[in-house]
Structure 1
Amino acid sequence: MKQLALDIGLASGPTLENFQPGSNAQALQHLRLAAGEAAALHSPVPIYLWGAPGTGKSHLLRAAYEALRAQGARVGWLDPAMRWPSAFDERWSAVLLHDVHRYSEEQQAAAFNWFINALDPAAGPPRWVLAAGDLPPADLALREDLRSRLAWGHVFQLQPLAEDELRAVLHRQAGERGMALAGDVVDYMLHHFSRDLGSLTGLLDRLDGFALRTQRAVTIPLLKSMLQGD
């Protein structure tokens, strides 16, 4: 009978604390301050994050969402997978708009409505707006009124991590999973696969699961075996 591996060393989800900032420290600091203020019903300045895939936009939006929810705040969340966005909810303390560059016309209309109601609500103080996309506001293929509002507050371009920073993240994530990750395995991952952090984290997840199922140490031969479908 095949033995089931126990999930002993599960990695934690995205948080503001486990985000590796690299050259994005200023953006991270603004998010930490704004997330605390939003939960207290203050009126932080809107923030828009942009950058290439793998630079940490999704991590930061999900981390901000969890930080707000942990403080008891209600949060509006809109991403391209939500085909029928709800109306603005006056109980929200913040509005988070994920992957705005992929919004449909209906989603753009909802995002604009949420943005306007957040900054000028019918009741209560202004709400915080945090948004992210692959391009700077001026280059987004969105309706003009939404595009211009995404540029109203702080706009940060997120930069990819340097190689030593990627190594540090991979070793930290491996440690969170209880994995022993040798330097040569990290070398192989960095030189044979996409170097964006999202892809590398996904590869690490697969490798961790494969090592648990096969009860083998994490090595380059194990990684190759996994990729070959063994």
Structure 2
Amino acid sequence: MSQLALDLLARVAPSLDNFVAGSNRECLHALRALADGDRRHRLIYLWGLPGCGRSHLAGALARALPQACVVDDVQRLDAGGQTALFGRFLAAAADPDQVVITTGDRPPLALDLREDLRSRLGAGLVFELRAPDDAGRAQALAQAARERGLRLPEGVISWLLTHHSRDLRVLMATLEALDRHALARQRAPSLPLLREWLAGASGGRDTPAADKIL
């Protein structure tokens, strides 16, 4: 991921409200219930390919439930980390108020972790997260623009998807930055204005030519 993308993401705190659910609505519903105090499902494991949103949701839940145990990317745990996480599962089994949220890049039983930990990871709710396709990304961006009162000219969203990023978090942050830049310049949002902002934000490096897609 580019430094510009990382800088954009650093400005947007992950939350359940700014997670674009797409086909992951059932998962988001369960996480909202948990954040609202429903403790029927206190053990939840989220998995999926990079860009599916699992780290976003882990960060959102860590903010919403500061007392919960939230571990992102369990596939990276060393022996000590696995032992510590297994201990949290044991504690949760004895205390109905304890919550354990974990994420990984594959289903629980496919993880290269100790067997008893894999079993615990799969004992609660398990959701496979799916990243939105381009149509879903475009729809989410258009909806976000409408909610902001932004009237985006035709071609802006398709240019973003083609030339900027396919990570929806980065795209949403870019849309927010374009809104602020347009207000500061007292100009209507446009593709030239977007390219101007991207060139400045990336230290003056050239952005792809827009005339090829207009």
Query: TM-score normalised to the size of structure 2?
Result: 0.71
Over the matched positions of the two proteins, sequence identity in percent amounts to: 42
Cα shift at 1:129: 1.7
The change in CA–CA distance for 1:62 and 1:13 in structure 2 (over 3 A counts) is: same
Structure 2 CA distance, aligned partners of 1:164 and 1:140?
31
Contact 2:12–2:173, Cα closer than 8 Å, also in 1: no
The change in CA–CA distance for 1:182 and 1:111 in structure 2 (over 3 A counts) is: farther
Identify the structure with the greater helix proportion.
2
Structure 2 CA distance, aligned partners of 1:127 and 1:43?
11
Cα shift at 1:174: 4.0
SS at match of 1:181: coil
The reply to whether residue 34 of structure 1 matches residue 5 of structure 2 is no
RMSD across aligned C-alpha pairs, in angstroms?
3.0
Structure 2 CA distance, aligned partners of 1:46 and 1:99?
15
- Identify which range, 138-147 or 126-135, moves more after superposition: 138-147
Structure 1 CA distance, aligned partners of 2:84 and 2:147?
38
* Matching residue of 1:88: none
One-letter amino acid of the structure 2 residue matched with residue 116 of structure 1: L
Gaps of 5+ in 2: 1-10, 205-214
The reply to whether residue 218 of structure 1 matches residue 189 of structure 2 is yes
The structure whose RCO (Cα within 8 Å, separation 6+) is larger is: 1
SS at match of 2:36: helix
SS at match of 2:165: coil
The change in CA–CA distance for 1:181 and 1:133 in structure 2 (over 3 A counts) is: farther
Cα shift at 1:168: 3.0
- Select which of 165, 168, 184 maps to 2:155: 184
Contact 1:22–1:162, Cα closer than 8 Å, also in 2: no
One-letter amino acid of the structure 2 residue matched with residue 161 of structure 1: P
Cα shift at 1:104: 3.9
One-letter amino acid of the structure 1 residue matched with residue 20 of structure 2: Q
* Aligned residue pair count: 191
Cα shift at 1:62: 3.1
* Matching residue of 1:54: 51
Give matches, 1:74-89, under 5 Å: 74-75=66-67
Structure 1 CA distance, aligned partners of 2:180 and 2:156?
16
Gaps of 5+ in 1: 1-10, 69-73, 76-93
